[in-house]
Amino acid sequence: MKPIGSIEEVIRSKLNVTAGPALHDRVLARVRHAKEQFETTAALREPTIRRMIMKNSMVKLGIAAVIVAVLGIGIVEFLGTGGTSGVVWADVAKNVEASPGVIFRSGGTGLRNPIDDWPNGYRITWRSAAVTRTDYYRGGQMYRTIYTNADTKTVIALFHDARKYNKEAMSDEQVQRARADKGRWTDPQGLLNLCLSLEHHALGQKTIDGVLCEGIEATGPDGSTGRLWVGVETGYPVLAKIEGIDDGKVRHTGTMDQFRWNVDLSAEGIEPEIPADYEPL
């Protein structure tokens, strides 16, 4: 009798089906047509997309943040923080709003690919009103950089592990999405607005990386929580942590730290630089 390994090899190498040209072309035509149809009618399916998004509790927090951003920072002025803190949270919101640029590190756990879980995987983001640069790290190695510029409507991606790059024009939808980032929990300003808008309480003071901070903890309607620590002296966020449960199963966490506020990004290497030996994708 053949050994098991030989049966494995036979199945692996000899059990192969090939699509005939007619089948190949017919299915490809349908696949392309389906994509085309989907792209052109995407707007009509907005309610479905919304339902899909709302399944994710972390994204729900983000949606709430967008709503808050629309209502305007002015409302924040009237929100109490439930404590007699040295931090005036309305001033924090103003400081963050007025900061021309910010650099921060972010990461998370509970991602589909554990290799990208914090702290093995993380991102460093440079962000101003229209321009963002994000460096993606895995195991201490930077493997991707993405530049977006909502003014020039361009996005440039550098794949450092493949020494390739891709440069594309941004669609209006992508520009809109990039501009809306400031209203999302993935953005420090969005997270701050969100924490202040939800039911929250003071966490007191603690020292983080040598900086005396005060914190608040906000809880979303689905039990997701956000904790934000602000420097007492500076009035700027120092650390943000969020936690959520997706469909009652997977625990997601997100962290933002190593903030640098009030940065002039034009002097910080945010301009896209494509290394000479990188080839187009």
> Which residues of the shown chain bind another protein in the complex (CB under 8 A)?
1-2, 4, 6-12, 14-24, 27-28, 30-32, 34-35, 38-39, 42, 49, 52, 111-113, 116, 157, 159, 161-162, 164, 166, 168, 171, 281
The count of other CB atoms within 10 Å of the CB of residue 60 is 18
Q: Is the Cβ of residue 32 or residue 179 nearer to another protein in the bound state?
A: 32
Cβ at position 200, least distance to another protein in Å? 31
Which one, 168 or 233, has the nearer CB to another protein?
Answer: 168
To another protein, the closest distance from the beta carbon of 166 in angstroms equals: 7
Q: Considering the complex, state which of residue 180 and residue 203 has its C-beta at the smaller distance from another protein.
A: 180
Within 181-228, residue ranges assigned H as helices are 188-197
CA distance 244 to 251: 6
Nearer of residues 42 and 67 to another protein, judged by Cβ: 42
CA–CA distance, 196 with 228 (Å, rounded to integer): 10
Answer for the pair 235, 88: CB distance below 8 angstroms, yes or no: yes
**Smallest distance from the beta carbon of 204 to another protein, in angstroms?**
37
Could you tell me the smallest distance in angstroms from the CB atom of residue 75 to another protein?
31
Q: What is the spatial distance between Cα 139 and Cα 117, in angstroms, rounded to a whole number?
A: 10
Shortest CB 26 distance to another protein, Å: 8
Side-by-side strand order, sheet with 211-219? 199-208, 211-219, 225-231, 237-246, 250-260, 101-109, 121-128, 131-138, 141-149, 154-159, 164-169, 279-280
Q: How far apart are CA 44 and CA 108, in angstroms?
A: 33
